[in-house]
Chain A
Amino acid sequence: MESGHIIEIRGLTKKFGTFTAVDHISFEVGKGEIFGFLGANGAGKTTAMKILCGLSKPTSGEGKVAGFSINGEQEKIKRHIGYMSQKFSLYADLKVWENIRLFGGIYGLKRKVIAERTDAIIQSLGMQDWKDSLVGSIPQGWKQKLAFSIAMIHEPQIVFLDEPTGGVDPETRRKFWEMIYEASDRGITIFVTTHYMDEAEYCDRVSIMVDGQIVAVDSPKVLKEKYAAENMDVVFRTLARGSIRQ
């Protein structure tokens, strides 16, 4: 990419009838960056993220994700991104290795590559003992790690994490962020939504969405200075105060 940005969005708008869920947002994300996408429920986060993932089309505006246009190149975008949902969804009635193999297959990897990566994932997570267990029977923390690894099985350029740490204990959350940093070190861009404001501090840069608009994009440090706040929680509450949708 010419600018070194892996995500570039200009004037992205999504309307549902008369309701404008996402209202002319613009931002960019650099390669290897950990980008926090913050906003209260209903602020338009999910809608915007769906467009970035190639799941829906914008009403207007343009942008590129992993070098492909969000207007018309959705299928190509999908090949180059990974996605992990809020519930770290995997198939509970399939075994650990079956889940890995399935998603490898869905992304069109060769049989040999799938076998290699399956071993690699199980090795690096230390899940040898769980390999043949049904995913439904393994603890949440392991499921979360597994889901994250599977989201990266096709070596995507960007991984979208939709509230990846909901419902897990602080220790597991901390370990999970270690995995995120590792991935980021390997050059994978992390696009993460969260409503834990302490997690926002871990991001390189964050954007804050209020009522469909992005009201701030910067590093947590700069934002805290700008709003003279001691932490991101205060920044967020200052910015979200004027929200109409809340």
Chain B
Amino acid sequence: MKEFFKLVGKEFRHIFRDRRTMLIVLVMPVVQIVLFGFAISTDIHQARVDIVGDIQDFQVRKIAERIDNSQYFDVVSEYRSVTSVDDRFRKGKADVAICFEQDFSKKLETENTALIRIIGDGSEPNSAQMIANYAMGIIHEGTRELTPTVEYVYNPMMKSSYNFVPGVMGLILMLICSMMTAISIVREKEKGTMELLLVSPVRPLWIIVSKALPYMTLSAVNLVTILLLSRYVMSVPIRGSLLLIALVSLVFILTSLALGLLISTIASTQRVAMLISGMGLMMPTMIFSGIIFPCESMPVVLQYLSDIIPAKWYIILIKKIMIEGVGMTYIVKELSILLFMVFVLFWTSIKLFRTRL
């Protein structure tokens, strides 16, 4: 055991001595959170509005004018059939459609309310939500009785709110645990020091664990940084239990470590390890995990493909715990999937590590 701690100490020394890398690792989550957080524009500027309904109707025209007059919106077209909305969105000619029911004015007079519906283009979830909120505000302001129903096409659940915090968590943990572990193992293979460790009495398993431990510590630091930043700077709520977040993160960290180990057995040079983890892990994680594009608006084939990305499940879990505040019983499925992945990955990579020795 003493031998093991010597090795852990040495790994830490490697990390501390490489100041630049350490700084990057510690500062990266801060930069990413701030970047993602503030880069998502909160300004809506002259969004293009389609009015769907009878523009001859007095109340409809009144609301349409009010919307058009606002600095946020431009009414670009009027038509009667809701079925055209899809086509308009697809061609990129409109950002939002506001639909009024038949005999709008009459209904409003007799029943004191009428149906109004805002359809947003969910493929750009952040701005769609913003636009809908603004439109709702304008409508509500003018005519108190009206409460529009809002719906989004392409991404009906609008799952991208607060998307970036869980997303960045997934990305950072993945990056540090997989890439850094893989590189540090491959570096030892490349420099020939791995041989020295292997001929020593320290067991191979402990060598690997000693490599993983420092990066686990670093990721824990990052996890705390991200959570603090998102809670107090970005005001993202943490509704669920912190303990559960920690547990889920630990499982994901293990998954990433296993992936890193797997990469280290395949790659023979640090450069290859970096490429594999960059192209093989970071890219799919970025694309499929819903950080940039919501998975729901992807073609079905890609959605299935995204299922094999561990980060996707971690991000779902974190969203559920953090944003929705659910407990253990609601996350059993996702957690089981992640645990299953850990098991398979570790089994494969340890088997490979042994044979490649």
Contacts and interface: CB of A to CB of B under 8 A. Distances in A.
Contacts of B198: 55
B197 to A, nearest CB: 7
B193 A91 contact: yes
Contacts of B195: 83, 85, 89
A93 B192 CA distance: 14
Contacts of A83: 195-196, 199
Chain B, interface size category, equals 20 to 34
B200 A107 contact: yes
Contacts of A108: 2-3, 201
A85 B196 contact: yes
A91 B3 CA distance: 17
Contacts, number: 64
B13 A78 contact: no
B199 A89 contact: no
A165 to B, nearest CB: 15
A53 B3 CA distance: 19
A62 interface: no
B202 A106 contact: yes
A107 B201 contact: yes
Interface string B251-283: 000000000000000000000000000000000
A208 to B, nearest CB: 24
Contacts of A98: 10, 13
B111 interface: no
Nearest to B1: A108
Contact of B10 (A75, A78, A94): A94
B192 A56 contact: no
Contacts of B10: 91, 94, 98, 102
Contacts of A107: 3, 200-201
B14 interface: yes
B265 to A, nearest CB: 16
A43 interface: no
Nearest to B196: A89
Given A55-B357, A93-B14, A98-B13, A106 B192 contact: no
A92 B191 contact: yes
A87 B199 contact: no
A106 B197 CA distance: 8
Given A75-B203, A85-B196, A160-B199, 18 more contacts: A53-B199, A54-B199, A55-B198, A55-B199, A81-B199, A83-B196, A85-B195, A91-B10, A91-B14, A91-B191, A91-B193, A98-B10, A98-B13, A105-B6, A106-B200, A106-B201, A107-B200, A107-B201
7 contacts: A53-B199, A55-B199, A85-B192, A89-B195, A94-B10, A98-B10, A106-B200
Those 4 A-B pairs whose CB atoms lie nearest each other, nearest first: A105-B6, A89-B192, A87-B192, A83-B199
Interface of B: 2-3, 6-7, 10, 13-14, 17-18, 191-193, 195-203, 357
